[in-house]
Chains A and B, each alone.
Chain A
Amino acid sequence: MGILHLVFQSPAQTDDFHQCLERAGEEDAVLLIAGAVVGAKQTGTAAQVLDTCPAKIYVLKEDLVARGISADEVVGGAALITFDEFVALTVTYSRILSW
C-alpha cells in the first residue's frame, strides 16, 4: 500500500499543494483538507496539477461545503469523502505524510 499525503493549506497560501502533488506516486493517495480543498475547484488554475498527478485524489466534503463549493464544481477524478471515510483511509494507508 502506498502513502496517504495530507495537504492542509490553500494553493495560494503556501506551495505545499504543488510540492505534494508533484511528488505523490501512483500507489499513493492525496487528501485535500481544510483550506486545500479550494485547489480542487475545476475552474481554478491549481486544479491542473491534479490532472497530472498519478495518485488517487480525495477531498474532504465537510471542508468543501463550508467554503460554498459544491460537488459538481470539483475536478473529475477526485473523490469526495466524509470525516468517517477519512478515518477509514488512515487505516487503509498506514503511512501518512503531512505537507
Chain B
Amino acid sequence: MTACRYLLVLRSMPFDGLQVQEAIEQLLTLAAFEQAASVLFLEDGVWVLKQGQQPRPLGYKNLHGLVQSLDIYDIGPLWVEKESLLERGLTEEDLIVPVKTIERSHVPRLMAKHEHLLPG
C-alpha cells in the first residue's frame, strides 16, 4: 500500500444519476493539478468496473473510457473490496481494469493512509 493524498471512496451505483461520473471527473481534476489520488470501490460502487456495460439505452455514457483513462492520469491504485465483489457474485475476471483487492477488515488501514477522503 503506497501512501497517497486523496482517496475516493466510491459506493454509488452507476447509471442511477451522475454521481459516479462526477466523482471520477473530480479525480481527473485532481490529477490535472498533479495531486496523487486513488480509488476504493465499495458495495455497489464495484458495478462501475463490470465488463459489458451498455448504458446507452438508459441515456448514460459508458463509463469504461473514463475508468480506463485513470491509469493515463496516474490515478491509482484502484482498490476493490473483496467482500463487495463476493456479495454481488463478481470476481476480478468480471472487471474491465486490473485492480488490487482488499479485505473489509483492512479498509480502515487503507483509509488511514490517505490525507483526504472523498465520498462518491
Give A residues with C-beta under 8 Å from B.
Answer: 2-3, 15, 19, 22-28, 95-99
Contacts and interface: CB of A to CB of B under 8 A. Distances in A.
Interface stretch (B18-26, B71-79, B111-119): B111-119
A4 B22 CA distance: 23
B43 interface: yes
B104 A23 contact: yes
Given A97-B9, A98-B119, A99-B119, A23 B107 contact: yes
Interface in B6-24: 9, 11
A95 B108 contact: no
A27 B108 CA distance: 9
Contact of B112 (A2, A19, A98, A99): A2
A81 B76 CA distance: 37
Given A95-B116, A97-B119, A99-B119, A19 B108 contact: no
A25 to B, nearest CB: 3
A20 B112 CA distance: 14
Contacts of B114: 95
Contacts of B104: 22-23
Interface residues of B, number: 15
Residue among A2, A22, A25, A96 facing the most chain B CB atoms (10 A cut-off): A25
Contacts of B42: 19, 23
Given A3-B111, A24-B108, A25-B111, A19 B43 contact: yes
Given A19-B42, A97-B9, A25 B109 contact: yes
B43 A97 contact: no
Nearest to B11: A19
Contact of A95 (B11, B107, B115): B115
Contacts of B115: 95
B112 A97 contact: no
Contacts of A3: 111-112, 117
Interface in B73-120: 104, 107-109, 111-112, 114-117, 119
Contacts of B9: 97
A25 B108 contact: yes
